[in-house]
Amino acid sequence: MAANLKEVRERISTVNNTQQITKAMKMVSAAKLRRAQQAIQQMRPYANKLNEMLRNILSNLEGESSSAFAQERPVEKVCIVVVTSNRGLCGAFNNNVSKAAAQLVEEKYSEQYNSGNLHMVNVGKKGYEYFKKRYPDINYHTDHIALFDDLNFDSISKVSQALMDGFQEGEFDKVEVAYGQFKNAAVQYATVVQFLPVEKLEVEETGNQMKADYIFEPSMEGLLEHLVPSILQTQFQKFVLDTHASEHGARMTAMDSATENANELLKELKISYNKARQEAITKEILEIVGGAAALENG
């Protein structure tokens, strides 16, 4: 019985220590989430409007002028960008993003994968670890895997510029990005979007294509040369900031859940400990009473 009591005391101590760690991690993630959430909420409307404007412009340039980033060609070489976090302990967040990208490999680009023409750019270590075990034959590009250690625009733009250069040079015919779209601390969506070539606006039901009402100064070609890469870099920055906020939201939620589970476990362990103590005390009392009765009878 004494051994059982000692074991329960050790378990209570272990759960208490674990609970202190989860509480601390929750507080750290909550502080980081506030900054990350503010960054993506300020960035998202701007990036979405720029992307809408870009698609609108490029949808109306056929026969006049066009951008190299909007040219569609037979999809022989594909690049999938997987944006996950560097660290775990954030629930199923990283797995959900990785599974969304894996679904692309299995269902959409299996032919490119089998022919050795599937490339993957990993931003965040967890996505790389997931895919390296399951798909060792993918052509991995890990130059920017630790991007989340430095999230300034210059660092992020190096990744998007490398993707744009690869598309222009024919290294990739299509680039898709899997990332975590942030809604709030409790909800994050694993999302896949086409980055290159830039998707054009759909034709309206009437059959008339939406026309962009823009005046270009000094020239359409000169403006597009600088405008398109800038908008694409902003769009990619949104993917990264979305994932960054999603990571901290998922971790905060996971650590809150772990803390609550530790509370429940502590209650159960304390009840078990008190029952064991009561049994031990009752047994000792019975032994004393039995011994006293034996002496009297003797």
Q: What are residue 203's phi and psi, to 5 degrees?
A: -75, 140
Containing 224, the helix (H) or strand (E) segment is: helix 220-297
Q: What are the b/e assignments for 210-243, b being 16+ CB within 10 Å? A: eeeeeeeeeebeeebeebbbebbbbbbbbbbbbb
The two tokens of residue 188 are 């994050």
Query: How far apart (Å, rounded) are the C-alpha atoms in residues 79 and 139?
Result: 9
Q: Is 85 exposed, middle or buried (0-12, 13-18, 19+ CB in 10 A)?
A: buried
Q: What is the maximum alpha-carbon separation in the chain? A: 118
Helical H runs in 146-219?
A: 153-168
Asked if 6 contacts 232 with a C-beta cutoff of 8 angstroms, the reply is: no
Q: Collapsing DSSP states into helix, strand and coil, what is residue 81?
A: strand
Q: Collapsing DSSP states into helix, strand and coil, what is residue 191?
A: strand
Active site residues: 90
Alpha-carbon dihedral sign for residues 281, 284, 285, 286 = positive
**Bridge partners for 189 per DSSP:** 181
Q: Is 266 exposed, middle or buried (0-12, 13-18, 19+ CB in 10 A)?
A: middle
